[in-house]
Structure 1
Amino acid sequence: MLVLTRKPGERVLIGDDIVVTFLESRGDSIRIGIDAPSGVRIQRHEIVEAVTEANRAATEADTSAEDRIKAALGYIPTAD
């Protein structure tokens, strides 16, 4: 991991076509701007984690609902 100290207005280049600009510092957080080609996905890590967890929970809920429906219908699994 590269660790940098930057001042507002200073930039970091990533590859040939991504520019990260440090805009300002506010208390314990900083604001940055990211210029990248439209084909480059830029995502906040905590959002990706939240969506992944929500999808996992939804899948588990769907399985639980399926089991309840099978039980209500008297489904008996057969051995193959």
Structure 2
Amino acid sequence: MLVLSRKKGESVIIQDEIEITVLGVEGDVVRLGIAAPGNVEIFRKEIYISIQEANRDSVSPASVNVGALLKQYQSPK
């Protein structure tokens, strides 16, 4: 992790495309402005984690009672 100190109005550039600017500091709250190309997705971390969890849940198989499923499709004797 790179740790930098920046003052209000100062910026950091990432890979010639993304600029992060300190807009203000009020107590424990830092306001950041992020300028990036439209194809770069930017999320707050808690939102990003929520999206990742929802994606995992949507692709994980639901638990299935295989025995009950087989009984349902077996032909009567």
Q: What TM-score results when the alignment is normalised by the length of structure 1?
A: 0.66
The residue number in structure 1 matching 2:3 is 3
Tell me the C-alpha RMSD between the 2 structures.
Answer: 2.8
Q: CA deviation at 1:56?
A: 4.3
1: distance between equivalents of 2:3 and 2:48?
23
Task: Report matched runs for 1:59-74 at 5 Å.
Answer: 63=62, 67=64
Identical counterparts, % of pairs = 46
Long gaps (5+) in structure 2: none
Q: Please, which of 68, 72, 75 is the counterpart of residue 75 of structure 1?
A: 72
1:53 Cα deviation from its structure 2 partner: 2.5
Superposed CA deviations along residues 19-78 of structure 1, whole A, max 9, x for unmatched, are 110001122120100011111111222112112324445667x825xx48xx5xx6368x
Stretches of structure 1 that go unaligned for 5 or more consecutive residues are: none
Aligned length: 73
When residues 55 and 37 of structure 1 are mapped into structure 2, their CA distance, relative to the original with a 3 A threshold, is closer
Normalised by the length of structure 2, the TM-score is 0.68
- Give the Cα–Cα distance (whole angstroms) in 2 for the partners of residues 58 and 38 of structure 1: 26
- Residues 26 and 37 (structure 1), Cα distance of their counterparts in 2 relative to 1, 3 Å cut: same
Matches within 5 A, 1:1-80: 1-57=1-57, 63=62, 67=64, 75=72
Runs of 4 or more, structure 1, over 6 Å off, are none
The aligned amino acid for 1:63 is: A
